[in-house]
Amino acid sequence: MNNTRSHELFTRASELLPGGVNSPVRAFKSVGGEPFFAERAQGAYLYDVDGNRYIDYVGSWGPMIAGHAHPQVLAAVAETMRHGLSFGVPNALEVTMAEAITRIVPSCEMVRMVNSGTEATLSAIRVARGATGRSRIVKFEGCYHGHGDSFLVKAGSGALTLGLPNSPGVPSALADLTLTLPYNDFDAASALFDEVGDEIAGLIIEPIVGNANCILPRDGYLQHLRELCTKYGALLIFDEVMTGFRVALGGAQQRYGIVPDLSTFGKIIGGGMPVGAYGGRRDLMSQVAPSGPIYQAGTLSGNPVAMAAGLATLELIQAPGFHDALERSTHALCDGLESAARAAGIAFHTTRAPGMFGLYFREGPVESFADALGSDTQRFNRFFHGMLERGVYLAPSAFEAGFVSSAHGEAEIAETIEAARATFATL
Ligand code: PMP
């Protein structure tokens, strides 16, 4: 596989950008080797600057649920940008977006648009602290909520991939306010709340963990957390930056029938443009400035072009049967990978939710962060490169969920399974 131009770009980039990238996991540090540079993308495919084509299971880390460069999304963006890129005064598309989110996710009675998932989560915990008058927050080991100071405590995603779950630069006075729990452990959560429940402003969770590979909640676990938060007056915050609009139209909260107090979103609602949002109960969100005293703002928040891309994407995913089809594709992919691994005698396990999956080089089940860490990452890295050479791009880390889009059809999935069969044979 020729990578001359990518190599040249990465060499130049490495002089000027930390690690050669603008976001850590892109650098291929944990899997080894060098990243390829994208030239364009279409449907399920990414094309690099050296002319290589990849079936893409990263989907820009989640936004591309309807496939890359979807004509309806591009048309909405093109039409919107004819009128200007940003106004700094309100725009009708912001209202349409707020109406769409609050209709699709009923727990969000009010919403505020921001520019990234990171902004959404750090704003949500500010609301939780401001509204409760409490300081402590609870998160889960291996969960990632962006790079806000309070969240870089036992964090997942790139922090975990690079072995840096606690970052220098986060004052211990702040980190001390973040309590961590093991995901899916009922008793640990009960014990923590029994001890300090009335000091907890909010508990934030990825309802399905997608930043420590992919871990699904045990039956009743999210309900258990809901009950604890209610009992102790702490706010339950679902970080649905990854799961929102993906695992069901109304996200994980719809799939599991839980009503959080606050939710955070990103990725899909921007259709590939930089977007985030947080929302929730009216009595909480109305405490945000300017209607209330909890301050949060953004020069480009509600950007019209980003709203247009997000609204067009939301339109596409509301087609009847969209998420059912996504679920079938995800199962077909994961079943195929598992049977190919079995045929090759390789210990391998998958976890899945509609449009999202985890790959483990170990036997199942995987229900905890400790289980996820038990995957053979060296083997994953060899698998990653074997797949890449065969034209399949998986997330370049053993600790990131993969994404399936509606553009991944039977042909792409069959080709992926064939590539896996060939790769497993080399492991
Ligand atoms: N929360 C979750 C669950 C995420 O997966 C991510 C990013 N992958 C974030 C927050 C942060 O979003 P962003 O990278 O847009 O800041």
Does 403 contact ligand 1 (Cβ within 6 A)?
Answer: no
Compute, in angstroms, the gap from residue 145 CA to the centroid of ligand 1: 5
Over residues 112-149, the pLDDT tens digits come to: 999 999 999 999 999 999 999 999 999 999 999 999 99
How would residue 168 be classed by pLDDT, with cut points 50, 70 and 90? very high
Q: Which of 185, 239, 261, 371 is catalytic?
A: 239
Q: How far apart are CA 404 and CA 59, in angstroms?
A: 8
Q: Which residues contact 317 (CB under 8 A, 6 or more apart)?
A: 65, 66, 245, 249, 268, 323, 406
Does 61 contact ligand 1 (Cβ within 6 A)?
Answer: yes
Compute, in angstroms, the gap from residue 339 CA to the centroid of ligand 1: 32
Over residues 305-333, the pLDDT tens digits come to: 999 999 999 999 999 999 999 999 999 99
Residue 221's pLDDT is 98
Residue 194's pLDDT is 98
Which position has the token pair 């995800």? Answer: 330
Over residues 245-282, the pLDDT tens digits come to: 999 999 999 999 999 999 999 999 999 999 999 999 99
Over residues 74-90, the pLDDT tens digits come to: 999 999 999 999 999 99
* ipTM surpassing 0.90: yes
Q: Which atom of ligand 1 is least distant from the CA of 243?
A: 3
- Given a contact cutoff of 8 angstroms between Cβ atoms, the answer to whether 73 and 275 are in contact is no
Q: How far apart are CA 158 and CA 147, in angstroms?
A: 10
Known catalytic membership, residue 256: no
Domains of the chain: 4-69+320-424 (3.90.1150.10), 71-317 (3.40.640.10)
**What is the Cα Rg of the chain in Å?**
21
Q: Is 213 helix (H, G, I), strand (E, B) or coil?
A: coil
pLDDT at 156 > cutoff 90: no
Known catalytic membership, residue 231: no
pLDDT at 161 > cutoff 90: no
Q: Which residues contact 97 (CB under 8 A, 6 or more apart)?
A: 113, 269, 277, 302, 307, 310, 311
Q: Whose alpha carbon is nearest atom 1 of ligand 1?
A: 145
pLDDT at 159 > cutoff 90: no
Q: Which residues contact 210 (CB under 8 A, 6 or more apart)?
A: 242, 243, 356, 400, 401
Q: Which atom of ligand 1 is least distant from the CA of 23?
A: 14
Q: Which of 45, 54, 57, 144 is catalytic?
A: 144
Residue 289's pLDDT is 98
Show the 3-state SS of 164-202. CCCCCCCCHHHHCCEEEECCCCHHHHHHHHHHHHHHEEE
- Given a contact cutoff of 8 angstroms between Cβ atoms, the answer to whether 249 and 103 are in contact is no
Structure tokens, 283: 């009595």
Does 266 contact ligand 1 (Cβ within 6 A)?
Answer: yes
Structure tokens, 99: 């109406």
How would residue 401 be classed by pLDDT, with cut points 50, 70 and 90? very high
Over residues 225-245, the pLDDT tens digits come to: 999 999 999 999 999 999 999
- Given a contact cutoff of 8 angstroms between Cβ atoms, the answer to whether 418 and 337 are in contact is no
